[in-house]
Chains A and B, each alone.
Chain A
Amino acid sequence: MIEFEGTLYRSGSSHAFDAVARVSERGSVTLSVDTDSKEYLISEYEIEPRLGKANRVIRFADGVRFESGNHEALAALEGIFPSSSMLRFVDWMESRWPAALGSIVGVVVFVFLFFEYGMPLTANYIAFEVPQSVRRTLSENGLRTIERYGSFEESYSMRMHELGESAFARALNLASGSLNPDFDYELRIYESQAIGPNAFALPSGLVVATEAFIELCENEEQMVAVFLHEIAHVELQHGLRSLIQDTGVFLMLSMGLGDLSSLGGMAASLPALAIESRYSQNFETEADLYAGKVLEANGIGAGVMKDILILLHSDLPDLDIVQFLATHPDLEERLEALDSLKGEK
């Protein structure tokens, strides 16, 4: 028989009594205050799970609360009549430093695996399941948002259209062997002072190039190289994947680090940006390599990709200290990645 002392409070009363609890072999508990006592069946009480060294509380069906600091006796009681095994396991972990240190490692490993593989794989799966009609809506909305904010208008220059369309058709032709029939490829040429020489792709297959970009290219091959890079973004659904991944990162970090609206929570936006930038840089390298491979396979050579990257890059200095937050890898890395293609051959 287990016997232990504690403090008893009756139902709805704050008055505290010194009391003794006696546990029978059948699991019934008898509470005694002075000469007064009452017996409770095993189904009539509940032991709160252990939590650190705080006093243990047993709650009885009639509202009586019994509190005791006698951990050995309560452990013995639980030993006879097991309570929630999950919470006992949690308590087992919590009361051991090795388990706590193991948990730190567990958290780090899980977070790494989650962001490195879990999130990208999930996003990859979802992105290709999205219907093309939804991609089209998303792309048109995205483009309209850009139009609204920048001085960004469709080009009226016939010459620009001819140059662009010709290179775009050639790029599609070069890649035709591996193109997914789901996407509707279309080139649009825009005129913009603010954006400068640039090209980007939207998930439906919409590729946008600026007049400044077409003017910057020294020959059609360079333009083809960039269009292949954009086609790769569409084929591999980088746009949707990053949208899904970034939302996931934001969700996970705001859940893990607490409320993002608070001032202290602002610090959480930096790791989020760093993770998102890493995803984005991986996609850029992937698109460069896709374009490089197609160029190599068709006898044009990945060199034109390098040339246009250098040209595009000339007016943007690299800043090492913010590289980990940038959306694109730095120029040297991109050129080296393209060189590695030749090594493979």
Chain B
Amino acid sequence: MESNESESPSDPQPHVPHAQQPAPSETAHTSPLQPFGFAFTGNTNEYFRIWIVNLLLSIITLGFYWPWAMVRTRRYFYSNTHLDGHSFDYLAKPKNLLIGYLIVLIFFAIYLLAGLFNPLFIYPVILVYGLAAPWMIYKAFRFRAKNTAYRNVRLKFYGNLGDSYVTFLVWAALIPFTFGFILPYWEMKKKEYFFDNLQFGKTFFNFKPKAAEYYKYYLLFFAIGMGLYFILIFLVIGAAALFGATADTYNPDIFAEEGLTILMIIGAVFGYAVLILIGLVFQKGLWLLVFNYNLSVWNLGRFGFESKMKFAKYVGIAVGNVFASIFSLGLLIPWAKIRITKYRIENIYVLARGGELGEHFGAEMEDEGAFGEAATDFMDFEVGL
């Protein structure tokens, strides 16, 4: 079993049979970038059943089945994601997820109890949580990367703990002092901490986004948001003045007042729905623009990435999903999740120069350690953040 490793097809051969033909490696450098798409084979028919069974088992065990449910769900999505005919693996052990889950549960219980005795007691709890959070994020990133594999090679997160404290504590603490102006920069630093510290086999990922791009998107959305906010305020004041005037003139009796109150409640509910809709469009839209940008500046050695997701299409799916999930009382959640995952995955491309994608991976992506070694590392866990 230890033999023919060197026969990997893309290894440059010393003897080229026909001198006229360029060597394969040269082809790779001169030919144009070629996109390789991902495929997603998950479907609602299958996933609905997995989801509802997991939900039932999670609630009848008062949440303790949750880590097993989580692993099954992730495994389902990973193993149905394919690149170049090979699927992804999610390798986490439910026990390790359970540890993280219990840590969060204990924190939350202490927080609630402290608040009951004296509202002031919650501040030390928040402080401890704040100090522990960067460590937990660091652990979670390592865990998530290590348990993601493609073609028997794991991802590795090699970011350090100090950087996590700088990113998630120092920069976060500066936000109030800068009146939120560094928020886009902070978002970028958070992404950078994860995506620039990843490694696949022996190859490193590179992620060097430009702050100007982040500011461009955030400021654009902020400006449109403020504009809409003022229009809404104007409409509300206008409506209130109109109703106020009619109420004064025509409706002095209590019945009409009740009618007016009902009208106001309906108006408030409608206004609230519109506000949520606008908020969702903004949230999903901003996520998409930043995501598309992030992929364009992310690369793995010679490979680049590209997202071809379209703004209107993506926002339509994402916002539609939220409303479908709410109005179906949750029953359409699996359908919504499959729909958005399919759209996301099937619009992401790996850019490679010529040849087959598999050849490049075969040639250079090799894991260092033994596969089973990392799996026994019980000190790593993931915290739901």
Which of the residues B5, B60, B361 comes within 8 Å of A10, measured between beta carbons?
A: B5
Do B372 and A63 have beta carbons less than 8 Å apart?
yes
Do A51 and B265 have beta carbons less than 8 Å apart?
no
Do A319 and B262 have beta carbons less than 8 Å apart?
yes
Task: Determine if B248 is an interface residue (Cβ-Cβ < 8 Å).
Answer: no
Give Cα A111–Cα B330 distance, bound, in whole angstroms. 13
Q: Which of A12, A33, A59, A321 has the most CB of B within 10 A?
A: A12
Which residues of B lie under 8 Å from residue A76 when comparing CB positions? none
Give Cα A61–Cα B53 distance, bound, in whole angstroms. 31
Task: Determine if B377 is an interface residue (Cβ-Cβ < 8 Å).
Answer: no
If A11-B152, A13-B367 touch, whether A111 touches B322 (CB-CB below 8 Å) is no
If A14-B362, A103-B52 touch, whether A55 touches B87 (CB-CB below 8 Å) is yes
Task: Determine if B150 is an interface residue (Cβ-Cβ < 8 Å).
Answer: yes
Which of the residues A64, A94, A319, A321 comes within 8 Å of B49, measured between beta carbons?
A: A94
Which of the residues A12, A54, A107, A247 comes within 8 Å of B370, measured between beta carbons?
A: A12
If A14-B153, A15-B8, A16-B358 touch, whether A54 touches B79 (CB-CB below 8 Å) is yes
Do B48 and A51 have beta carbons less than 8 Å apart?
no
Which residues of B lie under 8 Å from residue A111 when comparing CB positions? 59
Which of the residues B63, B254, B283, B362 comes within 8 Å of A15, measured between beta carbons?
A: B362
Do A36 and B371 have beta carbons less than 8 Å apart?
no
* B59-70 contact mask (Cβ, 8 Å, vs A): 1 or 0: 110010010100
Give Cα A256–Cα B57 distance, bound, in whole angstroms. 12
Task: Determine if B122 is an interface residue (Cβ-Cβ < 8 Å).
Answer: no
Which residues of A lie under 8 Å from residue B116 when comparing CB positions? 138, 243
Which of the residues A13, A36, A104 comes within 8 Å of B153, measured between beta carbons?
A: A13
Task: Determine if B176 is an interface residue (Cβ-Cβ < 8 Å).
Answer: no
If A38-B1, A54-B79, A319-B258 touch, whether A14 touches B150 (CB-CB below 8 Å) is yes
Contacts A103-B52, A107-B55 aside, 8 further interface pairs with beta carbons under 8 A come to A14-B153, A90-B54, A114-B59, A134-B117, A255-B66, A264-B325, A267-B322, A321-B265
The interface of chain A, by Cβ under 8 A from chain B, is 7, 9-16, 31, 33, 36-38, 48-49, 51-55, 57, 59, 61-65, 67, 87, 90, 93-97, 99-100, 103-104, 106-107, 110-111, 114, 134, 137-138, 141, 145, 243, 247, 251, 255-257, 263-264, 266-267, 317, 319, 321-322
Q: Provide 10 A-B residue pairs closer than 8 Å at the C-beta atoms, listed in order of the A residue.
A: A15-B151, A57-B79, A59-B372, A63-B372, A64-B152, A103-B56, A114-B59, A138-B116, A263-B322, A267-B322
